[in-house]
Amino acid sequence: MRVAIEATRDTEGFGRLRAHVPTEIYESGDGSRALRVIAHIMIAYGGGIQDIRVGDLLALRADSSRHLSRPIQLAYGWLRDMGQFPANAPGTLFHLQSRGLQASPAELVDRYHLKNQPVRDLIVEYLTERQPSLDWNSLERLSTVLAMNFWADLEKHHSGISSIDLPADIRVEFKARMAKKIVRRRQPDGSLMEIMEPRKSAPAILQIIRSFYLDLAQWALDEPERWGGWAVPCPISTADTNVTKLERQQKSRADQRTRERLPYLPVLVRTAERRLKEARMRLDAVLASPFGGTFTVLGRSYVKARSTTRPDGQSDTAHEIGGNRQQLGSKEKQAFWAWATIEILRHTGIRIEELQELSHHSIIRYTLPSTGEIVPLLQIAPSKTDQERLLLISPELADVLSAVVSRVRGPRGAVPLVSRYDVHENIWNAPVPLLYQWSVSGESRAIAKNTITQGLDRVIEDSGLQGKDGKPLRYQPHDFRRIFITDAILNGLPPHIAQVIAGHESIDTTMGYNAVYPGAAIEAHRAFIARRRSLRPAEEYRAVTSEEWEEFLGHFERRKLALGDCGRAYGTDCVHEHACIRCPVLIVKSDERARLVDIRQNLTDRIAEAEREGWLGDVEGLSVSLAATEEKIAQIDAREERKMSPTFLGIPSIFTANRESPAGSI
């Protein structure tokens, strides 16, 4: 049917489609089914491919059986990528029901069916006034509190109420209701029992209501004809919104959670690496086996599937003998992204939303003006705040990013453009080359937050980590952010630098994440600095001269030693008395490994000589140097082993962008 439609109805349209879609996807089993979907729509509604609209696919999806869901989604993605649909069209039909569009303030308020029309109109007008300064999630939260928690509750318990100027008795009753909430708990006999519990969010709810009244009073001074009639005494006092005690309790719980998880982070990292290594071994084994063949890997035997529908003629499906059918390719994919998530989060401390927003364009290069050295940087897009920031890419992080870029590159060498649904704004973002994406039945999709957290849970289950209560020690993505900040400050990073790296607007927020230093210690340190400045001569706080600045820059150009480079900080003395081989800040390059081997042999010979002569003091000192030499050789070997994996970061440039894509968008 599809071949006949292509030959007689729209040969040109199918030709454009074939040129746009990669051949291996176009000719795959899923691609063939997607083409039949397009042909079916053309038969049902007439016209050619250029006449297909979003509603046509939605109607077919609603009327079709479940097995057609993937082909319909794939066909939608093809037509969307060709620019056939409007710019605000959904990025994918996958889980479309849970990815709604933004609602207007009136639609948000009308969800709660308020009876008093003037108050309903007031809340709508208030939300409309606040809308430009809020993201959609905050606007939705504001509408819920004012319409449901506030006014709908008053109408339910005080029939006929028509004014926001509340009498004293109604105020007291309302605050009492907000302080408690009804929780339904299942009893041992299976029945449900309603229990009243304290509402932890009560101060936040009352604060929003208080802001509502205070805003109306302030606006009434500027526009009395519009807001003057609603300027009434605020029923919520400052004491009602005091959250100091709750914040202290929350910080105490967060600090305890961080302290409990920080020591086990190396175990989690090793577990993720082991799972990825084992998953790749299974995948390599199934790909190397013939169809229907039996293979054994890691002590388990599998039987490979007898056929495949993949265009490359391979199959990653196998039946474990005595077990279930397994998609070893999917297992490897899940293990890889769990490993990448742990590595990126622990090396950067970024938020989970920022992790999902990382794109190929986030990896940029910076040239140091003094030496001309190129330094890779990671640009973090503004997710929670409006402040972009740049993070230095360490060698370990570079390995992870290079592996991610290599995995997500398409058949043509470019990172596919993917639309991501913004759950905070309820909109589809413009297509970008996201790093956190994977292909599902030929369609590139952004990896969802739930998928990331589920991958973390699987790593934790395999690690066997348990808390003091004997239960599994769960890690959330935000735990890595708290661990990163705590570990950085614990190792001497100044808190104000940690604030910039974390992207916090206030240093108080940064110190709230820190689970090591108490607030009293910080205040005592600040007072000490203030006293020291008042006692020391004022000229010591003068501006730096050009000669002093040149001396500072020259320090980094004179660090070259006979063996390696000295990483000692500017203006500090050598605490090792120039016994460089023992110094942990000695930086030795890979091409100097042979020199280290000679030093190791020399030290071994000298230790043997000292033992023969009975020079016990020399034996102890030489043994320390030998251990340091062995450690540096091991570090070089580990670094060289990492180089065997992909190390090309794929940093976009003008030349590669033009070569990969005529539009220069990759």
- pLDDT winner (highest mean) among 50-54, 530-534, 645-649: 50-54
**C-alpha atoms less than 13 angstroms from C-alpha of 361 in its C-beta half-sphere:** 12
Task: Name the residue with tokens 């001309």.
Answer: 372
pLDDT of residue 658: 45
We find that the CATH architecture of domain 265-479 is Orthogonal Bundle (1.10)
User: What is the number of alpha carbons within 13 Å of residue 381 lying toward its C-beta?
Assistant: 15
Instruction: Concatenate the DSSP letters of all residues of 307-349 into one string.
Output: ----TTS---EEEETTS-EEEHHHHHHHHHHHHHHHHHHHHH-
Average pLDDT of the chain?
82
β-strands 374-380, 363-367 pairing: antiparallel
CA-based nearest residue to 639, from 589, 568, 595: 589
Residue 660 pLDDT class (50, 70, 90 cuts) = very low
Is 348 in contact with 358 (CB distance < 8 Å)?
no
Q: Does the structure show a pLDDT above 50 at 663?
A: no
Give the pLDDT score at 517.
53
The answer to whether 437 and 446 are in contact (CB under 8 A) is yes
Q: Which residues of 645-666 are buried (b: 16+ CB within 10 A; e: fewer)?
A: eeeebbbbeeeebeebbeeebb
Using left for φ > 0, alpha for ψ between -120 and 50, and beta otherwise, residue 385 falls in: beta
Residue range 259-280, pLDDT digits in tens: 888 888 899 999 999 999 999 9
* 503 vs 1, more confident: 503
Most confident of 257-266, 339-348, 381-390: 339-348
Residue 446 and residue 418: Cα distance in Å, rounded? 7
- Arithmetic mean of pLDDT, 410-424: 82
- How high is the pLDDT of residue 323? 80
Domain boundaries, the chain: 2-98, 105-238, 265-479, 588-643
Percent of the chain with pLDDT over 70: 87
- With bands split at pLDDT 50, 70 and 90, how would you rate the model's confidence at 105? very high
pLDDT in tens, 470-499: 788 888 898 899 888 888 887 777 888 888
419 three-state secondary structure: coil
Find the angle CA(435)-CA(337)-CA(271) to the nearest 5 degrees. 145
The whole-number average pLDDT for the span 370-394 is: 78
SS3 570: coil
| Selection from 44-48, 104-108, 539-543 with the highest mean pLDDT | 104-108
Which of 21-35, 90-104, 470-484, 625-639 is the least confident region? Answer: 90-104
* Relative orientation angle of helices 265-288 and 328-348, to the nearest 10 degrees: 150
pLDDT in tens, 555-564: 666 666 667 7
CA-atom Rg of the chain in angstroms: 32
- Whether the Cβ atoms of residue 652 and residue 666 lie closer than 8 Å to each other: yes
Nearest residue to 380 (alpha-carbon basis) of 396, 362, 392: 362
Q: What is the dihedral of CA 567, 568, 569, 570, to 10 degrees?
A: -100
Structure confidence at residue 96 (pLDDT): 61
What angle, rounded to 10 degrees, do the helices at 495-502 and 477-490 form?
A: 150
137-182 confidence digits (pLDDT tens): 899 999 999 999 999 999 999 998 999 999 999 999 999 999 988 8
pLDDT over 70 at 338, yes or no:
yes
Q: Is residue 656's pLDDT more than 50?
A: no
Top pLDDT among 473 and 128 is at 128
C-alpha span between 593 and 598 (Å, rounded): 9
